[in-house]
Amino acid sequence: MSRRVVLLIALVTLALLGAASAPWTLNPGGLAAAVTEHLEGRYGLAVTVSGRSTFALLPTPRVKFEEVSLSYPKQSLKAEGATLRGELRILPLFLGRIELSEIALNDARITASMEALRRIDWARLFKDRMGETHARRLVLAASSIQWSDFPDAGLSDVNLLINWSGAGDPLHAVGGAVWRGEKVMVEQASFDPIRLASDQLSPLALTLSAPSGRLSLQGEAQIGDDPRFTGQSLVSATSLRDFARWSGTGLPFGSLMQAVVVEGDLSVNRRRISWPSVTVTLGSDTLEGTLAVRLDAERPVIAGTLAAGQLDLSDFVQPLAQARTGSGAWSEEAINLLQVTGNDLDLRLSALKARLGRLHLGDMAASILVRPGRIEASLGRADFHEGTLKGRFSLVAQEKGVDLKSQGAFEGVNVASFLAEIGQPRWITGVAQGQFALEGVGASPAEVARRAQGRSTVTVKQGELVGLALNDALRQVDKRPLSASLSWKGGRTPFDQAQAQLAIDGGIGDIVEGRISAPTLSTSLRGQVSLPERGLRMKVEVSPLTTSPSLAPAIVFDVSGGWDDIMITPDARSLIERSGAARPLFGVEAAPLATAQ
């Protein structure tokens, strides 16, 4: 065969291949009409083509329609402005029949109604078309989906690949879409559509991921009038605060929480989402127990019982620390409970070791209750610095502010250890017990402090006042009263019992009773404690214990300043009055001497 013949054959072959590969424009009738009729008859889709229609034979027979509108009956689904591509099966095409192996939609603007789709009798639809051949692959690219009955659930930049071989095989899907500005990926989705449509249990596997979290389900599902799911689940959020903000989900304390993982057995029905056995990871802490979300109430209610070896709750008490400004004063910023309440919460927690800011608790049992505009926290019992602690705390939103109530009791607490933990000097030691009750109403922490009411009782036994040498001061004052002010600093003053009772009204606490009993001296306290100013003003009277009554006046100390900067200074007048030489200066006359008659 000559070179010219070979070249001619090659050119003809290339021409044929080029012609087969190049798209041919189709007339409205013929193949174009056959494809649209096939889509309507086989899939129930009404197709309107406003743009160009083309056909190409290689690499696979395919058609392309531009500016296509698709609609499904009962206004359940409509797609506009799309480009539709369909791959044709070769053998049926040679036999004069149209069968699609793949359908692809690009740039489609899809509007759908979830309620209308739900009303379709899918079981009958599958049954009627069981013997027909369908496209095995559906591709959706660069499209958008808007739900008429869920306006906030719109999706953009939808790219989805669905594969389904037919009856008896599961449907598989992968892809992604943008929801509320973040890319959500469908890493895995598989189920049996025929079994689901027939209200039968179907194996289900689903994995979704987004920058703020991940969801994975593996089990069996059923839809219909009584939808349900049972299986395994994993729900994680890199930051629950960011997830709640992105998703618009009102989670209780969601604005205060960071990374969280919920993993375990999952059961879902119309009334309840429950984890009968669950592991919850908060940061580096692991909790185990049960968790549920009730869906049959006015608002979703999250309830559960969780236990942990160690638990850091510092993020949850952070707003209490923010009640003070950088200067130490109470904040005038309004208290907003809506930022932390979210949905309802009824949670019981226990931990062998727990941390709340600077405070450390052992063997803790607590509960948290959240309702609209209401937070209640209860500490049933906890080990606290060699003693025990229990209490209740509540915040309730009112028309003009927040109603705060707190009460508690403690026993056997090592005072020195407690002071060191909160960063205060160890100015007193001993074992403390007491109780307190405090309430106030206000729009800000500062206003609550100004309107606070309550009472408090504290007793410390077998302790010492550190940095106060009152015994040395009493001995010195009898010898050199005016120089005794130099002898009280430093050293320690042991005591048997120290007690103080405080009655709070309008933010000012009056010391109703205050005394310190020691082997060699007696001390009484009187004065006030200011909650709004975070300060105190007291006078401490110190007298020696003697077998006979002493006529000498007591030594008086002035205690004043802020809670974080207390100043103790001797009262000059009390020292001068103990000096016989200076006593007449204050109008104190000496007793007349007896004379002989």
Output the pLDDT for position 596.
35
- DSSP 3-state of 362: strand
161-203: pLDDT as tens digits: 999 988 889 999 999 999 999 999 999 999 999 998 888 999 9
φ, ψ for residue 300, nearest 5 deg: -55, 135
Beta strand pairing call for 285-294 and 301-312: antiparallel
Distance, in Å, from the CA atom of 494 to the CA atom of 521, rounded to the nearest integer, reads: 10
1-28: pLDDT as tens digits: 566 544 555 444 444 444 444 456 666 6
Where does residue 534 rank: exposed (0-12), middle (13-18), buried (19+ CB within 10 A)? middle
Output the pLDDT for position 211.
92
Distance, in Å, from the CA atom of 114 to the CA atom of 120, rounded to the nearest integer, reads: 10
Contact call for residues 569 and 558 (beta carbons, < 8 A): yes
User: Which single residue is written with the structure tokens 């003693």?
Assistant: 387
Read off the pLDDT band of 55 (50, 70, 90).
confident
- The secondary structure of 229-287 as a DSSP string is EEEEEEEEES-HHHHHHHHT---TTGGG---EEEEEEEEE-SSEEEEEEEEEEETTEEE
Report CA-CA distances (Å) from 286 to 131, 242, 312, 318, 339: 53, 21, 10, 21, 25
Q: Tell me which amino acid residue 388 is.
A: T
Beta strand pairing call for 100-106 and 137-147: parallel
Output the pLDDT for position 406.
95
Least Cα distance to 323 among 481, 444, 167, 464 occurs for 444
Contact call for residues 240 and 255 (beta carbons, < 8 A): no
Q: What is the mean pLDDT of residues 421-427?
A: 85
Report CA-CA distances (Å) from 30 to 92, 319, 373, 516: 16, 72, 67, 107
Q: Is the pLDDT of residue 46 over 50?
A: yes
Out of 325-334, 478-487, 500-509, the most confident range is 500-509
Q: Tell me which amino acid residue 531 is.
A: L
Q: Report the share of the chain in percent with pLDDT over 90.
A: 46
Q: What is the mean pLDDT of residues 218-243?
A: 91
Read off the pLDDT band of 583 (50, 70, 90).
low
Read off the pLDDT band of 481 (50, 70, 90).
low
Contact call for residues 145 and 113 (beta carbons, < 8 A): no
249-262: pLDDT as tens digits: 777 777 677 789 99
72-122: pLDDT as tens digits: 887 789 999 999 998 888 777 666 778 888 999 999 999 999 888 888 888
**What is the torsional sign of CA 20, 23, 27, 31?**
positive
Distant-in-sequence, close-in-space partners of 135: CB < 8 Å, separation ≥ 6 = 86, 100, 101, 102, 103
Cross-strand partners of 409: 390, 435
Output the pLDDT for position 480.
59
pTM: 0.81
Higher per-residue pLDDT: 566 or 460:
460
259-269: pLDDT as tens digits: 899 999 999 99
Distance, in Å, from the CA atom of 574 to the CA atom of 111, rounded to the nearest integer, reads: 89
Domain boundaries along the sequence of the chain: 19-163, 452-583
Q: Is the pLDDT of residue 586 over 60?
A: no
407-420: pLDDT as tens digits: 999 999 999 999 89
